[in-house]
Amino acid sequence: MKGLKGRVGWYRLLSIVLGILLLAGGAGVPAFAAGSADVLYEGPVALSPGESFTVKANSGTEYSVNWDTPLGALEAAGKAAGFSYKVTDKNYSASGALLLDDVGKYTRDNPGRWYAYVNDVHKDGFNNPEGALNLIKLAADDRVEFYYAAGVANPEDLAAVKAAATAAVKTVVSDAGEADAATGATPAPEKEEPKAPSAPASADGWTLELSGKITATITQEEFEEGLACPNSGHRQEWKDAEGNVWSGMPLWLLAGWVDDEIPHEFNANQATAGYTILVKAADGYTKDFASQDVAWSNDYIIANECNGKPLTDAWPLRLVGDGVAVDGKLGGRSVGNVVEIALTSFETAQQVPELRIVKYGEDGRTIIAEKTVDYKWMEANLEVIGDGKTVYKFEGITNDPNDVWDPAETYPGGFKIANAVKGTRIRDLCELVGGMGAGTEIVLVAKDGYETRLPYSSIYTDPSVQERQGDAILAWWGDGKYVPEYADGMRLFFTPGGDNVYGQWDMHESLPEQYWHYYYADGVQYPSCAGLAVKWITELRVYSIPQGDWTLELDGTAIGGLEYDVSKTYFEQALACQFGANHKASYTDDKGRVWEGMPLWLLAGFVDDEDLHSDNAFNDELARAGYQVVLTAADGYTVTIDSADIIRNTDYIVANILNGDPIPEDSDDWPLRLVGPAVKGGTSISQIKRIELVPATGKPGELADISGHWAKEFIRELVERGAIGGYPDGTFKPDNKITRAEFVTILVKAFGLEGKGDRVFADTAGHWAREAIAAAAQLGIVSGYDANTFGPNDPVTREQMATMLVKAAGLEPWAGEVTFADGGKVAAWAREAVVTAVHHAVISGYPDYTFRPQGNATRAEAATVVVKALTAAK
C-alpha cells in the first residue's frame, strides 16, 4: 500500500488532464496527458567501445572517459540535444568517480539534484567505484536515465524520484549500426513481428471496451494519442526472449479508469482489497488476473506494436510482459486480439483506516488498555484541531553547511511539507487509554512498520514548547480530503502559531536532542524536522513508566574516523530507517529465541571514516585492509572482532530486541547483546556500552609463528610501530610473498608519509590501497609499469623493493657497480638504488653471492629491510 499511495498524486494529475482532453474532444473516454518533467533528451545513443572522450571537472582537471559508460551516454545525449553538464572530481582520489552536479540549467541544490539509474538501478559513485558514472561499462540495450528532483529521501525508490522529477535525460544504448542522434550512425534493419500475416483493414479503426464499476470505450485514435504523450509513462516496452520489442499501455492504467465511480484516479484501496481483471479476445478467449498483481506493475502491457510496427497476427492488441511470459516466451496466459477488459468480483475495500491505541504496563510488555477508533469517531467525539484553511508547514533542510539549524528562521531551503489539515490531539487519544506516564515517550507506528518516538513533553506541552510546536495532532483530513483520499493520512503534524512553520530551530529549542531527525548529504548531517512528520500512522503505543535509558558510544577516531554517541531513541529509530535501508537484522538462537537489532558493520560504518551516514557510509576497503572492532561491556569486559569478518553481513548483530520486545532492564543482557551465527563463547558479550575501532597492529607476543624465525626481531619492531600486522588467527605468515600494494602501504605507515596525491592508475581506482599508492606516487617513491598500470596485486620484486626503500628513506645515492654474481640481471633503472641500498646496509644478498633482483620478497624480508631503512634514515 505504501508504494501504491505514493503514486496516487501523479495519477490524479494525469487523470484530471485526461478528463479535460476528453471533454474538449467530446468523446466518452480520455486522451492521455503529458507529464511535467522537462525531458532534455530521450532516445538511443550509439557508444563506441574502446573509444574515449575528454571531460573537464570543476577543478579544471581533464579526464579521459570511455564512451561506453553512463557518462558517455550523457555526453552523447548532450551533443544531440545541445545541452552541457558539469561534474566534480572531489571524490576522484577516493573512488575514481566523477560525480554529476549540473545538467543544462538544472544545477545542484537549486533546488534539486541529479540521480542516475542504469536499468532502473540507482548508481552513486561516492566512495563506490562500482557506481561511478565514468567507470560502469554499458552494453547494448542498457537504459541509462538521469532525473533531477528535490526532496528525495531515498534515491533507490525510482518511482518516487520520477514522481518528484522536474527534468530528465533518458537514453538507451543502441546496437552497432542503429540510428543515433549523437553519432549519425546508420539504422539497423527493423525486426519483423513473429508470424506476421497482413493486418485486417478498418476504416474507423478498432475500439477497446472497458467495464467495471463504470464502463468506457477507447478508440484506436485515443489509445495512440495517449501513448504519444511525451514523458507521461503511458508507453511501456517489453522485450521477449527472441529480442522482439513490444510496446503499449500498462494494464493497470486501463483498469484504473473503471475501477470505481470516479474516473480521475487509480483506487489503491480497492486494488489492495482485490478484484479480478478479465482480458478478453474477439473469439471469447479470456484470462483472469488479480488486481494486487497488476496494480502499478509494468509486467502486464496491452501492446499495440511489435518492433515499432502495428500488430498483425494478434491485431489490434495483445497482452504481453513478464507477468504472462515464461522465461521471456509468451504462452497461454498471453491474450491476442484483445477487444475487452472487464473488472469483476470486487471485494469490499477498507475505505476508512483505523487507529489502534494501546497502553503497556510497568514491565513495558503487558497490555493494560487499548482502543481502536477511526477518523469519523474522532471527529464526532474529540476536539478537532485545524480549520482546514490554515496551512501548517515543516521546514526543508537548509542545504547550507554553514547554517544547518537556521536560527534566524529565514527558511532558506523552503518547506518540505505544507498542508491545510484537520486532526485530533495525540494527547486526547492517549487519554482514551489512561494517558501517558510522566516522563515516558510515545511510539507512533506506520502501516509499513516505520516508528517515530516523541517524548512526554511533546504531547503534554508546557508553554515554551506549545509556543514553538503547538499541539501534536494526527491529521486525518488534508487539503480538502479525508483519509484514505488524503493519501498521507493519518499523519503527525505540529500546529505552531505565528507563521505556522515548524522549523529546524523549533526542533532544536523544543525537542530533546535524542529525538532530533537528520538528513545526511555530501558529508553534512542536516537537521530535518520534516522527518518527524511520519505518514500512514495506524498505532499509538503508550507507556506507564519511563523505560530505562542508555547510550551506545561509537568511536572510530583511532583509525581516522569519527566519534558519535547513539541514544536509545536514535538506535530504535535506526531500526525503522533512521540510518538508511536494510539495517534491521534478526537471529534465532539454538533455544528458539528471536533476537533483533542492527548488524555490527552498520554501526562500524557510522564512524569508520568521515562519511557519517550516507548510503556508502561503511568503508569496505578500510575493513578489508584491516582494523579491530572492540566491544566493551558495562563492567569493562571486552571482545575484539576483526573488521574483515563483519563486512556487510549479519554474522554479528547488536541486538536490543528479544522475542519482539526490548530486552528487559532486569536482564543480564540489557541494554544490548551481541548475537549472530558467528558469535561463540569467546566473542559473546552483553551489556554493551561502547564500540571502538582500533588499528589492527596486534601484539608481537601473540604472533604464533615467528618464534625462532631469523626475522623475529624485525617483525616485532615493525608490528609495534603499527606498520604491519598479523592475521586474525594470530599468525604472521613470515614466508608468504608480499604484493606491491602491501609493501607500499607498509612504507607509507612506517615512514609516516603524507601525500595529497590524486594519482589513480587504471588498476588502482577501486583498490583498497589506492590512497597509499597515490600518496607514494605523489612523493615520487613509486611509479607504475606505465601511465595506467601499477600492478598492485603483483608480488614485489627485490629490485623494486630496493628502489622504493631508497626513495622513502631519502638515502644519499652511492656510485658504484653491482658486485653480486648475478649483478648483470639487475635492471638498468634499479642499479643505482640497489648499490645505494647495499651500501647503507638496508638490503643484502644471499649466501651464494647472488642478489636475485627479480625474485619475490617475503613478508619477513619486507619487515627486515623496512626496519633497516628506518635505521639508515636516522
For 411-459, the three-class secondary structure string (H helix, E strand, C coil) is CCCCEEEEEEEEEEEHHHHHHCCCCCCCCCEEEEEECCCCEEEEEHHHH
Give the tens place of pLDDT for each residue, 484-495. 888 888 999 999
What is the rounded CA–CA span in Å between residue 532 and residue 474? 12
Residue-level pLDDT at 26:
35
Query: What are the beta bridge partners of residue 482?
Result: 477
Least confident of 43-57, 419-433, 496-510: 43-57
| DSSP assignment letter at 856 | B
Quote the pLDDT of residue 103. Answer: 94
Using one digit for the tens of pLDDT, what is the confidence trace for 631-686? 888 877 677 889 999 998 999 999 988 888 888 877 778 889 999 998 875 567 88
Summarize the confidence of residues 489-512 as an average pLDDT: 94
pLDDT of residue 726: 64
Whole-number Å distance between alpha carbons of 764 and 784: 10
**Interval 845-856 mean pLDDT:** 90
Query: For residues 643 and 630, what is the distance between their CA atoms, to the nearest angstrom?
Result: 10
Strand segments (E) across 207-275: 207-211, 215-219, 236-239, 245-250
Residue 350 has pLDDT above 70, yes or no: no
CB atoms within 10 A of CB 193: 22
Q: Look at residue 90 in the predicted model and tell me its pLDDT.
A: 83
Q: Which of 467-481, 647-661, 692-706 has the highest mean pLDDT?
A: 467-481
Q: Could you write out the DSSP letters of every residue in 585-597?
A: EEEE-TTS-EEEE
**Residue 265 confidence (pLDDT):** 62
User: pLDDT tens-digit profile of 96-128?
Assistant: 889 999 999 999 888 999 999 999 999 988 878
φ, ψ dihedrals at 719, nearest 5°: -65, -40
Other C-beta atoms lying within 10 Å of the C-beta of residue 632: 18
- Binned at pLDDT 50, 70 and 90, residue 364 comes out as confident
Q: Is the pLDDT of residue 478 over 50?
A: yes
H-only helix segments in 156-250: 158-164, 220-228
**Spatial distance between the Cα atoms of 554 and 183, rounded to a whole number of angstroms:** 53
pLDDT tier for residue 14 given thresholds of 50, 70 and 90: very low
Please state at what angle helix 859-873 crosses helix 798-809, rounded to 10 degrees.
30
The DSSP secondary-structure symbol of 645 reads G
**Under CATH, what is the fold of the domain 191-344?**
Sulfite Oxidase; Chain A, domain 2 (3.90.420)
- Cα–Cα distance between 248 and 238 in angstroms, integer? 9
Checking if the pLDDT of 6 tops 50, the result is no
**Predicted pLDDT of residue 133:** 93
* pLDDT of the residue at 2: 30
- Grid cell of 558 as nine digits: 583511532
DSSP 600-616: HHHHHHHHSSS--SSTT
pLDDT of residue 165: 92
Percent of the chain residues topping a pLDDT of 90? 38
Question: CA quadruple 732, 737, 742, 748: dihedral positive or negative?
Answer: positive
Cell numbers 562519511 correspond to 611
pLDDT tens-digit readout, 411-425: 999 999 999 999 999
**Long-range interactions of 175-180: CB distance < 8 A, separation 24+:** 175/140, 175/141, 176/46, 176/140, 178/44, 178/46, 179/44, 179/46, 180/43, 180/44, 180/45, 180/46, 180/76, 180/80
Average pLDDT over residues 825-851: 90
The CB-side HSE value for 248 (13 A sphere, CA atoms) comes to 27
Average model confidence (pLDDT) for the chain? 83
DSSP assigned state of 576: I
Q: What's the one-letter identity of residue 596?
A: E
Q: Delimit the domains of the chain by residue range.
A: 38-173, 191-344, 354-543, 552-568+575-695, 700-873
In the chain, the amino acid numbered 872 is A
State the amino acid at position 421 in one-letter form: V
CATH number assigned to the domain covering 552-568+575-695? 3.90.420.10
Report residue 564 as a C-alpha cell.
558519535
Residue 765 has pLDDT above 70, yes or no: no
Contact between residue 168 and residue 145 where contact means Cβ atoms under 8 Å apart: yes
Residues 722-730: what's their mean pLDDT? 64
The CATH number of domain 354-543 is 3.30.1490:
no
pLDDT of residue 226: 82
Sign for the pseudo-dihedral over CA of 783, 785, 790, 795: negative
No. of helices (H) and no. of strands (E), the chain: 23, 45
Closest CA to 472 of 436, 524, 522, 437: 436
Whether cis (ω within 30° of 0) applies to the bond prior to 734 is: no
* Per-residue pLDDT at 34: 34
pLDDT at 89: 85
Instruction: Please give the model's pTM, rounded to 2 decimal places.
Output: 0.39
Model confidence at 166: pLDDT above 70: yes
> How far is CA 791 from its chain centroid?
32
Q: What letters, b where the CB count within 10 A reaches 16 and e where it falls short, cover 65-79? A: bbbbbbbbbbbbbbb
Pick the more confident residue, 545 or 466.
Answer: 466
Give pLDDT, residue 81. 85
Model confidence over 542-593: pLDDT tens digits? 998 877 778 899 998 888 888 888 877 778 766 655 334 457 888 998 888 8
Residue 740 host element (H or E): helix 740-750
Tell me if domain 191-344 and domain 552-568+575-695 are identical in fold.
Answer: yes
The whole-angstrom separation of Cα 833 and Cα 297 is 67
pLDDT given for residue 572 in this prediction: 76
User: Which one, of 253, 257, 202, lies nearest residue 27 by Cα?
Assistant: 257
